[in-house]
Chain A
């Protein structure tokens, strides 16, 4: 279609053909030029293979020089200074630009080392929630500003929550965390290190997790159903993806020789786990989901989570959260105290009047009641 009409509007193919069917192509071209931005947050206890999975997903090495926390001091002779009970969560954002066939993707991965590591994890998600809110705040501020041409979108579009395969389902910390952020970000639960589970165990665990998510009313990201006009393959793919949530994945960037060809996998004495083998794990499904639904994730973040945040902030009058609440409470308390004082004063005056009434004339009584 596009071959025929470089600037000629005179010969339409069919009568009544206007030509705005070309719009998607224009949008496509513009967005390709502009590039995509995507922010992915990974949350989970340390040792669940988060960094390995991210490196495998995007075929990059986002964490080349990793210093495993806690082991650093082993090289020195000084005693390990561990924040024993309260290890704080840190937020580390790393950005990488990936280009494929002319399409640029500016990917930001937000890592949360220290999550779930401390003995007392009560406060470990406060840092994460304030980070998410901060990004929303910044976007809101930019959007309401004067120069709106180059707004950088750092809002978290998707959060991969890593569930440990060793438990019997969700832990209390998992439930608490997901409930705290399910209204702020799209949660995609992922079962990490899936090569420790047999097929039956995997099915059982997935079912447990889904049941527990439903029981606690946690809103995870739901893949949109395929439209009725999409082709059958796509519909089938979407159906398969939806049936596999939560995805159980294995990550690896090492090339292993298996059955004559080189595959990415993990080499064990009893066999090789191939990362890209759909029979071994759901890595391919996760990657497909992320890529085909990247735009949808961004849209849901914009239309649902961001709008929720924005309406709440604007309702509060645009002031900062904690101060606002405190001010309101303070004002209420002060008003209540004042009311009480006034009531006491009235009661006292009434009592005085009554005494005067008893001691004095009878017509003074009528005055006493209306204060």
Chain B
């Protein structure tokens, strides 16, 4: 008896898939595997969206890190000039790029937060950030509850927030702890040790252990969250990651010649720090986490956990039961609830629309 022939697994295809390739040349008995190929083609046609926010004091290498991550100048670092004072309130800047690799398009939005933690009095400096994140959730929610919805709701929700911890070598500062406590409940936070080239290997390990201890003491759950591990494989993979978090990273956007190879790195009088060398820094781990292995997971958790939490809170607040076929009238979010200073225009428009219907 011949063993059943298995169709060539679509996932292992290194060929660039184009819509003209037939889904599966040799389907198994039913052909369910063909669905995977169709999904893949569809996803590639649609492209992916990813929104990443970087938070940290100025000078910690956030812009350089972004450029290194995506290997392109997605962010021009904005050095405040002498005449331009550091902004008194935190302002968020977002820039969108579309980058493409092997036929896969990624619409990348980068949100920068200049002025975070730079003032003398940094009390409540996390409010504008929280406000922005909640505003994106609100925007999505408003789109979702419309009667005639768009086919593909533009997703501006923050999928990942990379928090840059300054390499003091001691432990987390009160500002770090306050910020992480608040943000880990709203968004996926990945803390990294910035500018890690100022710490020797032992100092790095000690610092990392202390940070992990601090996080445990304050019950801060950074990504990947332990409670969201679904199966045993996830648990194993994520446990390995959790041991190394926060990653000690170094960013560089210049290339240098080392032993005949061209590497990205920083050149100093005593050596060249290679960014992609695991012995020097843990940038490859961060890149793998954010892009190669966990990008979709970040988006899923944002959608299924954080966004749903937000939605539940908002629905409970509006005290209204759904009437008609799943239609919900949400009261406009009050400014205090979002802790944002921006006037809330979007929500009021949706409200007006629903009034017009009546």
Contact = CB atoms under 8 A, between A and B. Distances in A.
A173 B120 CA distance: 5
A73 to B, nearest CB: 7
Contact of A271 (B174, B270, B279): B270
Contacts of B279: 269
Nearest to A211: B82
Interface in B129-180: 166-175, 177-178
Nearest to A167: B59
B79 interface: yes
A99 B297 CA distance: 63
Contact of B170 (A47, A82, A168): A47
Interface stretch (B13-21, B192-200, B285-293, B350-358): B192-200
B272 A270 contact: yes
Contacts of A119: 121-123, 174-175, 178
Nearest to A271: B271
A165 B198 CA distance: 10
Interface in A218-275: 266-274
Contact of B58 (A167, A215, A269): A167
Given A68-B170, A70-B170, A199-B269, A172 B119 contact: yes
Nearest to B272: A270
A198 to B, nearest CB: 5
A137 interface: no
A157 B122 CA distance: 32
Nearest to B77: A168
A122 B178 contact: no
B174 A118 contact: yes
A101 interface: no
A69 interface: yes
Contacts of B197: 195-196, 268
B59 A80 contact: no
A47 B121 contact: no
A39 B132 CA distance: 49
A165 B171 CA distance: 18
Nearest to B211: A71
Contacts of B175: 119
B171 A68 contact: yes
B274 A270 contact: yes
Contact of B217 (A68, A74, A118): A74
A279 B170 contact: no
B273 interface: yes
B213 interface: yes
Interface residues of A, number: 51
Interface string A333-362: 000000000000000000000000000000
Given A196-B195, A268-B197, A271-B271, A85 B174 contact: yes
B199 to A, nearest CB: 9
Contacts of B58: 167-168
Majority DSSP secondary structure for residues of B touching A: loop
Contact of B120 (A121, A166, A266, A272): A121
Interface string A111-131: 000000111111000000000
A164 B194 CA distance: 13
Interface string B81-92: 010001000000
A309 B356 CA distance: 73
B236 interface: no
Contacts of B178: 84-85, 119
B267 interface: yes
A120 B170 contact: no
A74 B214 CA distance: 8
B170 A270 contact: no
B33 to A, nearest CB: 46
A293 interface: no
Interface in A188-233: 193, 195-196, 198-199, 208, 211-212, 215
Contacts of B169: 47
A298 interface: no
B49 interface: no
Contact of A266 (B82, B86, B200, B280): B200
- Residue among B57, B198, B269 having the largest count of chain A Cβ atoms under 10 Å: B198
Interface in A175-197: 176, 193, 195-196
A48 interface: yes
Given A74-B213, A80-B218, A270-B273, A121 B121 contact: yes
Interface in A289-314: none
B322 interface: no
Contacts of A268: 197, 200-201, 270-271, 273
Given A122-B120, A122-B121, A71 B168 contact: no
Contacts of A73: 217
A73 B280 CA distance: 31
A50 to B, nearest CB: 11
A69 B170 CA distance: 8
A114 to B, nearest CB: 11
A246 B213 CA distance: 36
Contacts of A172: 86, 118-120
Contacts of B174: 82, 84-85, 87, 117-119
Contacts of B82: 208, 211-212, 215
B220 to A, nearest CB: 12
A88 interface: no
A166 B59 contact: yes
Given A70-B171, A82-B177, 18 more contacts: A47-B167, A69-B170, A70-B173, A70-B214, A74-B210, A80-B217, A85-B174, A164-B59, A165-B198, A166-B166, A166-B195, A168-B59, A168-B79, A195-B268, A266-B200, A267-B200, A268-B270, A272-B270
8 contacts: A70-B172, A80-B214, A87-B174, A117-B173, A117-B174, A173-B120, A199-B268, A280-B270
